[in-house]
Amino acid sequence: MTSLLILLVLVAAIVLVTARWKVSPFLALTGAALIGAFAYRIPLGEVVTTVTTAFGNTLGNIGLVILFGTMIGVILERSGAAIAMAEALIKVLGTRFPNLTMSLIGYIVSIPVFCDSGYVILNSLRKAVTLRTGVSTLATSIALMTGLYATHTLVPPTPGPLAAAENLGASDDLGMIIALGLPVAAVAAVAGLIFASTFSRKEFTPLPAESDDDLIEQSYEELRASYGRLPGAFVSFLPIVVPLALICTSSIVKLPGRPIGEGAAFDVLGFLGTPVVALIIGLAVAVPLLRGHGRLERFNDHVQESIRVCAPILLITGAGAAFGAVLAASPLTGFLSDNLSGLGLGLAVPFLIAAALKTAQGSSTVSIVSTSALIAPMLGSLGLDSPEGMILSVLATGAGAMVVSHANDSYFWVVSQLSRIPVATAYRTLSVATAIEGTAAFATIWTIGLFLL
């Protein structure tokens, strides 16, 4: 019982120092790992080794994958490819169903691009579609927000799911995580879309333009013109499609039945589908999107920006893994095995922990990384230590990390301020939408678990 109380105190401390005192999650998790090691009476000679080995191994396994995935996202954002993809979808879907259009655009763009950046990029397009169709800006804002959010927390190569896969021992099964994450994210996005559609004709009083004094207002035409000539839709989609296709193909050829045997083709496809290699290929495919003079300089600038963006994520991921290693080396695992195995909580544990952390401190990525580190030692006692269990645990953690976006979440403010939604209205709509979306995602994951576990 003492082991569980120590864990609860450590988790509460992480939430408190990150949510109330704004301490870096990296420092909070590292501190929790060291304090936990002493509290659990891990031999002093093993404390530093336990922490540093887990930190180093995790960054060695997942660091390059997160870095190259971030590079692809930055290039898609800065080259105008994200706008090109959005316009291509509008040409196919038209403006007859504006909420569906915005949800689908968000669903696709957020696979490589952070949802905050995605909303900033697509907001002018959203406003243009809203004006053209006469639908409520509240509806299109919710649809775009939830579409972006769905894949951001559930589908690699977004950093959160990648880090969770590493922490939970499912990094070799990224193809299956993608294959299951895409339909689960689609269900979540549809749930958000249905909620958004209830506001299609609802009037509300937007904030006045001058309240957005820290935001630069741009019309869609101005935003589009700022990119110059946009890249074609086909080449814009390639940096997303190629890595996902390679990773999924590799997973298929590695199935126990070995569909194509174990010859040269097996070796080549297995190599190309390795996440690092697949994302390097995706990056190579993305580079031609940077056209005109100074391409090399702009590419170097984007690389530097990518390093800046993903450095905190890498540090948090490593610190989370160190905390998880301390828990794994503690008496906690034996206690949980003896007391949780018969309760049938299963996938609800990662979902509820992630939801609690997300609601308390605001960051979906921090929630995913911290939760996956916390539950890694518990997988066996929860009956989730099979490959299928680990994959579904990654997704359940992602679903929990949607619940609930509110005042401590930067994404909440990006959406509400860019869309000029009053804070009181945003709580009743945006926050509720993320709760519905995350719950729908978990219900889908739980249903899949009935067949796979």
Report d(CA 92, CA 43) in Å as an integer: 62
Q: Is the pLDDT of residue 205 over 70?
A: no
Q: Is the pLDDT of residue 143 over 80?
A: yes
pLDDT tier at 216, thresholds 50, 70, 90: very low
pLDDT tens-digit map of 388-429? 999 999 999 999 999 988 877 888 888 888 888 888 888 899
Half-sphere exposure of 171 (CA within 13 A, CB side): 22
At residue 2, the pLDDT reads 84
Determine the residue type at 190: V
Structural contact between residues 104 and 129, judged by C-beta atoms closer than 8 angstroms: no
At residue 208, the pLDDT reads 58
At residue 211, the pLDDT reads 41
pLDDT tens-digit map of 10-29? 888 887 887 778 888 889 88
Q: Is the pLDDT of residue 1 over 80?
A: no
Q: What is the mean pLDDT of residues 82-86?
A: 85
The DSSP code for 229 is S
Q: What is the mean pLDDT of residues 159-187?
A: 91
Burial class (CB within 10 angstroms; exposed 0-12, middle 13-18, buried 19+) of 307: middle
At residue 203, the pLDDT reads 67
At residue 397, the pLDDT reads 95
**Over the chain, what is the mean pLDDT?**
86
At residue 212, the pLDDT reads 42
At residue 148, the pLDDT reads 94
pLDDT tier at 344, thresholds 50, 70, 90: low
At residue 210, the pLDDT reads 43
At residue 156, the pLDDT reads 87
371 phi, psi to nearest 5 deg = -65, -45
Q: Is the pLDDT of residue 255 over 90?
A: no
At residue 204, the pLDDT reads 63
pLDDT tens-digit map of 32-58? 999 999 999 999 999 999 999 989 988
Q: Is the pLDDT of residue 215 over 60?
A: no
Question: pTM of the full predicted structure?
Answer: 0.80
Q: What is the DSSP string of 380-412?
A: TTTT--SHHHHHHHHHHHHHHTTS---TT-HHH
Q: Is the pLDDT of residue 447 over 90?
A: yes
At residue 194, the pLDDT reads 96
Q: Is the pLDDT of residue 214 over 50?
A: no
Comparing CA positions, the residue from 377, 381, 354, 386 lying closest to residue 367 is 354
At residue 213, the pLDDT reads 40
Report d(CA 88, CA 105) in Å as an integer: 9
Burial class (CB within 10 angstroms; exposed 0-12, middle 13-18, buried 19+) of 227: middle
Residue 134's CB is within 10 A of a number of other CB atoms, namely 9
Comparing CA positions, the residue from 299, 279, 292, 209 lying closest to residue 239 is 279
Q: What is the mean pLDDT of residues 430-439?
A: 95
Determine the residue type at 299: F
Unique residue bearing structure tokens 């509240």: 138
The DSSP code for 231 is P
